[in-house]
Amino acid sequence: MKITLLVSTLLLSLGSAGAANLTVFAAASLTDAFADIGKAFDAKTGHTTLFQFAGSQALRTQLTNGARADVYASANSAQFDPLVKSGLLGSGQPFLSNRLAVIAPRNNDRVQTLTDLSKPGVKLVIADRAVPVGDYTRRMLSAIDKSGAYGKNFSGQFLKNVVSEEPNVRQVALKVQLGEADAAVVYSSDVTPALRPGVRVITLPTRFNQSASYPIGTLRNAASPEAAQAFVNFVLSGEGQAILKKWGFLKPR
Amino acid sequence: MVIGALLVLFLVLPVAALLLRGLGAQFLPTLLGPVVLDALRISLLTTSCTMLLTVVLGTPVAWLLARYDFPGKTVLDTLLDLPIVLPPVVAGVGLLLAFGRSGLLGAPLELAGISVAFSPAAVVMAQLFVAAPFYLRTAKAGFMAVDPDVEDAARTDGADRWTVFRYITWPLAFTFLLEGLVLTWARALGEFGATILFAGSLQGKTRTITLAIYSALESDLAPALVLSAVMVLVAFSVLAVVRRWGSAHTAR
């Protein structure tokens, strides 16, 4: 079945002159949603879309150092705008927003509330500072500190409990899924159907939560600029937005 | 000639590029920064522990495998080689499933108050798992290369088993053991996949040179380039010293 599909896709891409091979670099948090979008897009247009998912900062480094891609979707503008400024990317536009979520393994009740995150001996995993979600996590911590609701040095104690700073958000979620961390900070969209049975989501008051805005754009040296633009348009279209919503993302701001 | 030169050029050029970019004006200040110093310290400490454990635990195993036959030996031999073939990420998952909190030995270890994941001990375990087989292989080959007749001769002269090993077998197999140890060290120093899965990545605790290079590549290139250059220099010096030492030993 899969082989027939593959063969027919190959034939299709050879046969029709307009069909292109598209390479999309996308933030790790988009893994499931973009895989879905890629299938829908390919079925509709006859293009063949390939994805590379990683931390946005890793993708940016690769693009800066000559990696070829047609589309780049980043989890924040800090990893996107410099590429626009250097002329590698055309202008981008926000295509979704995301929120943070604190998760803990379901079979481990060491962390029940936000206060527990600062208790000594708790093992926390977050993303590295350079990873967008790692940056949002640190902003969340300073918002909590500023409010004073959890004591003056909440973030200090929280950071003391961190046992690993991971290279992308899916690695962070994995450590909780495997039960190795007592809690972690990810995006709310990372609590996918696959992850949900294994984790509890700990309530994070809205005033501490951070709104992550994801920009998307086409590369200036895209091999197939039209197909690249078509992909961006599809992501922004009603159909694309519906798939993103299904995977827990919010409308762009 | 020309074709040979091509390969040499291909192998040398990336190293030269690393040194050219890494040994710039920012070398010393970056080298003395906390990111690089922490990574060097962690790597030095963990690989030293790994080497020590490898020699102490690996030498008897290699010797037994070289000298004795027992049922299931072939299977055991293959199992011990397996980590060489396994992708490091798979090794990391295996270590988590065995020694992680929800792993096979995780619950009893946790009860005993021992929590290995995300600790420097986890870094050593990851390195030991992926690197020790290199020592086992070469050490076994070394022991097998020693003529048993020489050992027997010493034994008939009244030497006990330890004396035979210490003064006959060990010296004769020494170059092999050294070679195996260098391979083990190199593999341990470069370990990435198993470490990041099982030990995580935290500066000053579990972030080795390799993890630090990966993490630095994503934000600030300078420490990554300096660390890469340091890695080249250290690796070259170790190989050169060992080679001299090894050949001096054989010459004796």
Closest CB to A179: pick one of B102, B118, B205: B102
Overall average pLDDT of the B8-33 stretch: 90
Overall average pLDDT of the A241-252 stretch: 95
Q: Mutate which of A63, A106, A162, A163 to test chain B, going by most B C-beta atoms within 10 A?
A: A163
- Inter-chain residue contact B200 with A166, CB threshold 8 Å: yes
Closest CB to B202: pick one of A107, A165, A167: A165
**Residue A97, Cβ density class (10 Å: 0-12 exposed, 13-18 middle, ≥19 buried):** middle
d(CA A231, CA A243): 14
Q: Do the domains spanning A7-97+213-246 and A99-202 agree at the CATH topology level?
A: yes
Residues of chain B neighbouring A166 (CB-CB closer than 8 A): 196, 200-201
Name the token pair of A197. 């049975």
SS (H, E, C) B53-105: HHHHHHHHHHHHHHHCCCCCHHHHHHHHHHHHHCCHHHHHHHHHHHHCCCCCC
Residues of chain A neighbouring B205 (CB-CB closer than 8 A): 163
**Residue A63, Cβ density class (10 Å: 0-12 exposed, 13-18 middle, ≥19 buried):** buried
* Confidence (pLDDT) at A61: 86
CATH topology of domain A99-202: D-Maltodextrin-Binding Protein; domain 2 (3.40.190)
Give the closest-approach CA distance of A57 to chain B in angstroms. Answer: 5
Name the average pLDDT for chain A: 91
Say whether pLDDT at A92 is over 90: yes
Tally A–B CB contacts below 8 A: 59
Nearest to A114 by CA among A106, A99, A124, A127: A124
* Confidence (pLDDT) at B207: 94
* Confidence (pLDDT) at B136: 96
Instruction: Note the pLDDT tens digit of each residue in B170-225.
Output: 999 999 999 999 999 999 999 999 999 999 999 999 999 999 998 887 767 788 88
Q: Break chain A into its structural domains and give their ranges.
A: 7-97+213-246, 99-202
Nearest to A183 by CA among A100, A103, A101: A103
d(CA B94, CA B180): 24
d(CA B180, CA B230): 23
Strand partners, A201: A103
Pairing assessment for the beta strands A212-218 and A183-187 based on DSSP bridges: unpaired
Overall average pLDDT of the A103-130 stretch: 94
Residue B105 near chain A (CB below 8 Å): no
Say whether pLDDT at B252 is over 70: no
Place of tokens 């004796």: B252
Residue B27 near chain A (CB below 8 Å): no
Residue B96 near chain A (CB below 8 Å): yes
Give the closest-approach CA distance of B157 to chain A in angstroms. Answer: 57
Overall average pLDDT of the A167-189 stretch: 93
| B170-190 and B221-251 helices, crossing angle to 10° | 170
Q: Residue B250 — pLDDT band, cuts 50, 70, 90?
A: low
Strand partners, A202: A102
Nearest to B221 by CA among B28, B26, B43, B15: B26
Q: Residue A6 — pLDDT band, cuts 50, 70, 90?
A: low
Q: Mutate which of A168, A180, A199 to test chain B, going by most B C-beta atoms within 10 A?
A: A180
Residue B215 near chain A (CB below 8 Å): yes
Residues of chain B neighbouring A178 (CB-CB closer than 8 A): 96, 100, 102
Closest CB to B202: pick one of A60, A61, A164: A164
Give the closest-approach CA distance of A173 to chain B in angstroms. Answer: 12
User: Is-contact A217 A172, C-beta < 8 A?
Assistant: no
Residues of chain A neighbouring B100 (CB-CB closer than 8 A): 178-180
Residues of chain B neighbouring A167 (CB-CB closer than 8 A): 196, 201, 214-215, 218
Lowest mean pLDDT among A15-29, A36-50, A165-179, A224-238: A15-29
* Confidence (pLDDT) at B62: 95
d(CA A202, CA B176): 56
Instruction: Note the pLDDT tens digit of each residue in A126-163.
Output: 999 989 999 999 999 999 999 999 988 999 999 999 99
In B, minimum Cα distance to A162 occurs at B202
* Confidence (pLDDT) at A15: 44
Instruction: Note the pLDDT tens digit of each residue in B109-140.
Output: 888 888 888 999 999 999 999 999 999 999 99
Note which residues in 182-211 of chain B have CB less than 8 A from chain A.
196, 199-203, 205-206
Overall average pLDDT of the B144-161 stretch: 89
- Inter-chain residue contact B100 with A125, CB threshold 8 Å: no
Q: Residue B1 — pLDDT band, cuts 50, 70, 90?
A: confident
* Residue B160 φ/ψ, nearest 5 degrees: -80, 175
- Inter-chain residue contact A165 with B101, CB threshold 8 Å: no
Give the closest-approach CA distance of A81 to chain B in angstroms. Answer: 14
In CATH terms, is domain A7-97+213-246 a member of 3.40.190.10? Answer: yes
Give the closest-approach CA distance of A217 to chain B in angstroms. Answer: 20
User: Is-contact A116 A154, C-beta < 8 A?
Assistant: no
On whether ipTM exceeds 0.85, the answer is: no
Instruction: Note the pLDDT tens digit of each residue in B37-49.
Output: 999 999 999 999 9
* Confidence (pLDDT) at A7: 52
CA A16 to chain centre: 33
- Inter-chain residue contact B219 with A57, CB threshold 8 Å: yes
Residues of chain B neighbouring A107 (CB-CB closer than 8 A): 102
To the nearest 10°, the Cα dihedral for A103, A107, A112, A114?
-30
Residue B217 near chain A (CB below 8 Å): yes
Lowest mean pLDDT among A185-189, A246-250, B105-109: B105-109
Residue A240's contacts (CB-CB under 8 Å, 6 or more residues apart) are A37, A40, A41, A95, A234
